[in-house]
Structure 1
Amino acid sequence: MDMEGHGDQTRLKPSVILTGTANEGSSGPPIGLVDIGVSEGAYLFRVAMPGVRKDPSKVKFEIKRDGKVQIEGVMAGPGLLKESSAMYEMKVQQLCPPGPLTISFKLPGPVDPRLSSPSFRADGILEVVVMKSKAPPTVSDSYPPL
């Protein structure tokens, strides 16, 4: 604890790799920002993906047992935008360029990828809870009986 009675609040700084249009965007809302939360039994991660098509066939993610996460999506393109009954031609493009993108990062520990619950929120945030791995102890993890 520090002098003010606060516990050590170590912040996770995930190494995030952006490719495709996510790496080329220079203005507008940032794509690929990642927040990671940790509980006793699970990880929660949130990834900023504003402007990415929310069609389930356009956003895919894979979580590996070692905690590596890879997200693939397609940035919506400029041009004509249909909103209800009106058509809009985009004159200003502030979001990153249209096209495919990937976002990769690693969670702090191993997980069980089968036990995850994704949600693509209306605000462009992909939010996923994934359970930590509960692998059985190995021989090196256990002590011989006395």
Structure 2
Amino acid sequence: MDAGNNGDHPRLKPPVVLDGTANEGRAGPPIGIVDIGVSEDAYLFRVALPGIRKDPHSLSCDIERDGKVQIHGVVADSGILENSSSVYQMSVQQLCPPGPFTVSFNLPGPVDPRLFKPTFRADGILEGVVIKFKFPPKDGQSPPT
């Protein structure tokens, strides 16, 4: 990652579009907070998805060549919680309401979607590393160093 202070760089603070239940603005940990890191060859992004289950059928992440990232998921209904010996009806819900959501943002540049490795961590962070797209050198020219 770049060791310089790029926290104020406007391209590293992408506009993030929230849709569905992620956009309802309730109190509690917000879904869709995004951090982006840049290295010479790749981008790293981390997206906060608190309360989302690690289930391949309820979460997907798509990346387009132009660097657009779309995360689709479903917040499970947690109005009734079952414990080993009790059933709880929730009267206060501070987490994101149940239902589908989408988080969309753009990375600072084009990428190769084939070279993408997502990891959904146990702490509710979706982390992805994707390799930057390198334009092939023109005939007769050596690649830039």
Q: Give the TM-score normalised by the residue count of structure 2.
A: 0.84
Structure 2 match to 1:96: 96
- Decide whether the 8 Å contact of 1:37 with 1:43 is kept in 2: yes
- The root-mean-square deviation of aligned C-alpha atoms, in Å, is 2.1
Structure 2 match to 1:115: 115
2:40 aligned with 1:48, yes or no? Answer: no
Q: Say if 1:109 and 1:26 are closer, same or farther in 2 by CA, change over 3 A.
A: same
1 CA distance for matches of 2:82 and 2:138? 57
Q: Say if 1:130 and 1:52 are closer, same or farther in 2 by CA, change over 3 A.
A: same
1 CA distance for matches of 2:97 and 2:34? 20
Aligned positions, number: 135
1 CA distance for matches of 2:37 and 2:88? 39
Structure 2: give runs of 5+ residues left out of the alignment. none
Q: Say if 1:63 and 1:93 are closer, same or farther in 2 by CA, change over 3 A.
A: same
2 CA distance for matches of 1:25 and 1:76? 17
Structure 2 match to 1:129: 129
Q: Which has the larger radius of gyration?
A: 1
Q: Say if 1:82 and 1:116 are closer, same or farther in 2 by CA, change over 3 A.
A: farther
CA positional deviation for 1:97: 1.1
Taking only the aligned residue pairs, the percentage that are identical comes to 66
Map Cα deviations across residues 3-35 of structure 1 (whole Å, 9 max, x no partner): xxxx66343111100000000032000111100
Map Cα deviations across residues 8-64 of structure 1 (whole Å, 9 max, x no partner): 634311110000000003200011110000001000000011012221111011100
- Give the SS at the match of 1:22: helix
- Decide whether the 8 Å contact of 1:53 with 1:73 is kept in 2: no
Q: Give the TM-score normalised by the residue count of structure 1.
A: 0.83
Q: Which amino acid aligns with 2:32?
A: G
2 CA distance for matches of 1:88 and 1:46? 33
- Give the SS at the match of 1:100: strand
Structure 2 match to 1:4: none
Q: Which amino acid aligns with 1:74?
A: V
